[in-house]
Amino acid sequence: MRCPACRVPAIETDAACQQCGFSLELADRTFGIPPTLQGPIDDTTGSLGLFAHRRAVHAITEVERRFPQLSIAAVLLEVPPEAPLVPYAFWLFNRSSLSSAVSKGGENRLVMLLIDTNSDRAIAMIGYGLEPLMQEMHLQSCLQAAYQPLQRRRFGQAIESFARELDRQMVTLCRLVPKQFGLVPEAQWLNASAVGEEVLGMAENLY
């Protein structure tokens, strides 16, 4: 992970960033009492109409159905103008009750999309449980998919586009993970004779 304030690599168990001193306790003193938010969509500004809200919820639900390990929350909120977006989003992610009390550390697989309706900016954050799998470039692809509707203040469409791209990124990642860990296709190890011949051939090449 990186410090949300200075972006220097940080350690999860550190109470504060060793580079700039940022901590959740400091954020609490700076930002005040955190709002209590709920997924899959918490529209604190009332920016979404009923139809747009339903479509966006459906898009999120479809991703969660295909990937039940994930929990997705889209938050529409007026970020205070003086608040830096990344530290503010990090504070909300950890303090606004979007994750259950048992979803801590590696058990936290929340994906949060925060839309600042004051500036039409958006940011995405993931729980520690997803960090070994997803990288910043994957989240950037999701945010890029939401960019055009976001600029037109079509927040419901922005959430839908984000969710669809997140689904696509997850499908790609699920295909890559077995290769990253050196796993072979099931058909190869089910066919014992073929595996034996392959291993024998490898041995002959080695010696």
Task: Count the residues in the chain.
Answer: 207
How high is the pLDDT of residue 13?
67
The model's pTM is 0.81
Residues of the chain with pLDDT under 70: 1, 11-13, 100-106, 177-207
Is 195 in contact with 188 (CB distance < 8 Å)?
A: yes
Q: What is the pLDDT of residues 132-188, one digit of tens each?
A: 888 889 999 999 999 999 999 999 999 999 999 999 999 988 887 666 656 555 554
C-alpha 108/C-alpha 10 separation (Å) is 18
How high is the pLDDT of residue 197?
44
What is the helix (H) or strand (E) element at residue 165, kind and residue range? helix 155-180
Count of alpha carbons within 13 Å of 24, Cβ hemisphere only?
A: 14
How high is the pLDDT of residue 21?
79
Q: Which DSSP state fits 130? A: G
Is 40 in contact with 72 (CB distance < 8 Å)?
A: yes
Is 60 in contact with 98 (CB distance < 8 Å)?
A: no
Kindly list the domain boundaries of the chain, sorted by start residue.
Answer: 34-206
How high is the pLDDT of residue 100?
66
Residue 155: which of 76, 89, 79 has the closest Cα? 76
C-alpha 164/C-alpha 75 separation (Å) is 17
Instruction: Map tokens 């997850």 to a residue.
Output: 170
CA distances from 37 to 60, 73, 105, 178, 180 (A): 16, 9, 20, 36, 36
CATH of 34-206, one of 3.10.310.50, 3.90.1150.10, 3.90.380.10, 3.30.70.141: 3.10.310.50
CA distances from 79 to 36, 41, 93, 105, 122 (A): 15, 16, 14, 26, 11
